[in-house]
Structure 1
Amino acid sequence: MMEMMTVSRWALLPPVYSILTAAGLWLVYFEAVFHNRISRLGSTHMRNASLYYPYISIAGNFAPASCTFSEVMNLAAFGGFIIAVLRYLQLKHKSAKQWLNFCSLLVFSVACFGMTLVGNFQVFADMATHNIGTFMTFVLGTVFCWVQSYITLKVNIKNEGRVAGILRFVLSGFITIFMILHFSLSGLSLHMQSAQCQWTLVMFFLLFLSTFGIEFRHNHFKIVCTDTCERPETWSEMMSEVSTHHPNEL
């Protein structure tokens, strides 16, 4: 019971982020289905030729679902960036390969920017910009997953790196497989199957991000604020203010 009480509240951030983002995307899907814009994901064939295939981008292309989609993607990009920054700070004094830690943050930051392009430039309004955002989100997001899986094994926080690392490698494998299937099936004009792979890919990706709660439960993160204009610490020191969680702290 005491061990449960000493778990950092930051552990809730990744799973809550993933759950809310997934809920928002499914809300977009059901809105589009309700307004007869897209076919249902479980359909084996298109029953109505006027309906579009249930790609996430197409579900979020038409109002009112487009408004929800933009909001969800913007918030998801912001939340994902915050998680990536906290992960970077957590590893800053633990990883021997700091260049890899920094590159991981940089890659996912660009992927988060891609999310905003996907959400704000609808596919039928500006296909080129939308597709660039899709590429940034999926491809760079997948690279981030593989890099973080490797770092997890190497850093081995609290001797949990092996279990968490294997879990992340498995999830990264599924993400990669479904991303390849998504683009391949789309190229073969098997759009229903491609859309199903896209939704599966995104759910696995959100599941991957939720696993950062495993390590976040051991740390708390602080921002230092002073009443004077003098800086007691360097910016680098302030940004690295991550404390290991002790049994007598919450």
Structure 2
Amino acid sequence: MRQPGANRASSVEANEANGVPVTGRQRLPEGMLLRCVPRPSLPSCLTPCLGQSQLTASPMTAWIVLPVSLSAFSITGIWIVYAMAVMNHHVCPVENWSYNVTCAEELPRPGFPKTCCTIQDIPLISKCGSFPPESCLFSLIGNVGAFMVVMVCLLRYAQVIEHSHRCWVNTSALVSGCTNAVGLVMVGNFQVDHAKSLHYVGAGVAFPAGLLFVCLQCVLTYRVAVTALDYWMAHFRVALALGAMVSLVLSGIFFIHESFVLQHAAAICEWVFTVDILVFYGTFTYEFGTVTSETMMAGLQQSHHHHGSGVIMGPGARGSTLSGTTKGLKSPGGSSTSTHLNCTPESIAML
């Protein structure tokens, strides 16, 4: 009895003799290399049986809304709080530089700011949110803003891990960002005129932690930069970080003095610092356009280099590791995702 392999070889030789083309699955000429081809699409019911290396991860571009929302919501909110405080005669406007030691009672004029201001009326951000109704909005901004800060920090942490940069700088940035969020909650919910000690503790935690976060993110931006646009973004963030550092230091120096003018200057520096930090958070829109489901998994597993898809082991998992290495070389600000070709044994013709 003839072996099945011999029958197949005979049929191949017969086809060659008759001039019938022979496909790659039947025979390969000597010296020709095998070429890997993409795996054909399979029914959706078979998709869970494959590792994620077999699937193309599409960017979850909706995440770009998060940093923009954080900046727009917080900056707009604190200025609304300031406007409400000025109109309710709880603080004096920023453009006012004239302060008195004491002021006689004056009849409030609806729609007009105060005309006689004391040191208690300096428009510090915290002072603007001390009294209702603006204190209610101030607390809401602090709580919602803190939640969005934590989300931004977690996504950025996972994205840096995905780009094969597991280092203490990334972990420190995550810790400082979450610490900043805790401080924001304390600042927003403990008003300076009603719980001064807790409010100052929250401010003392939030401001330095926020500055540390932006400085560490500048370092990480340079580390993961690939294209010229990535480096320009890193330069821009360094400029924002320097502005935040200068304004925070000046605010602290001016705040400890009793001079009305220096106290007012401290309030202006505090506003500059806060807006600067919020703009910095908004710049993560540049990277978040490439966030995928793989990014989320990288942040949860914290082992992007050592694990593939986490679904199967073997050739498929090996392909996943290779595809992850390739993704680490992609520009963090790019919006396109490359298609991964899988060189698995199933895609190679067997003689």
Aligned to 1:14: 67
Aligned to 2:233: 164
CA-based RMSD:
2.8
Q: Stretches of 4+ moved more than 4 A in 1?
A: 221-224, 237-245
Which letter maps to 1:193?
A
Map Cα deviations across residues 129-150 of structure 1 (whole Å, 9 max, x no partner).
Answer: 1111101111010000000001
Aligned to 2:123: 54
**1:234 deviation in Å?**
11
Contact 1:157 1:215 in 2 (8 A): no
Aligned to 1:230: none
Counterpart CA distance in 2 for 1:66 and 1:181 is 26
- Corresponding residue to 1:44 among 94, 97, 101: 97
Map Cα deviations across residues 176-217 of structure 1 (whole Å, 9 max, x no partner).
Answer: 000011111111231111111111111111111111111112
- Corresponding residue to 1:194 among 266, 269, 287: 266
Change (3 A) 1:139 1:108: same
Residue 104 of structure 2 is aligned to residue 32 of structure 1: no
Contact 2:250 2:266 in 1 (8 A): yes
**1:94 deviation in Å?**
1.9
- The TM-score, its normalising length taken from structure 1, stands at 0.85
Contact 2:60 2:293 in 1 (8 A): no
Aligned to 1:117: 186
Counterpart CA distance in 2 for 1:237 and 1:135 is 31
Aligned to 2:203: 134
Matches within 5 A, 1:53-72: 53-72=122-141
Which letter maps to 2:212?
V
- Corresponding residue to 1:93 among 162, 172, 179: 162
Gaps of 5+ in 2: 1-58, 100-114, 310-323, 340-351
Aligned to 1:3: none
User: How many equivalent pairs are there?
Assistant: 236
State the secondary structure of the residue aligned to 2:152: helix
Contact 1:18 1:209 in 2 (8 A): yes
Change (3 A) 1:67 1:157: farther
State the secondary structure of the residue aligned to 1:219: coil
Counterpart CA distance in 2 for 1:246 and 1:237 is 24
State the secondary structure of the residue aligned to 2:89: coil
**1:93 deviation in Å?**
2.7
Identity rate of aligned residues, in percent?
A: 25
Contact 1:122 1:130 in 2 (8 A): yes
- Corresponding residue to 1:236 among 301, 307, 316: 301
Change (3 A) 1:99 1:199: same
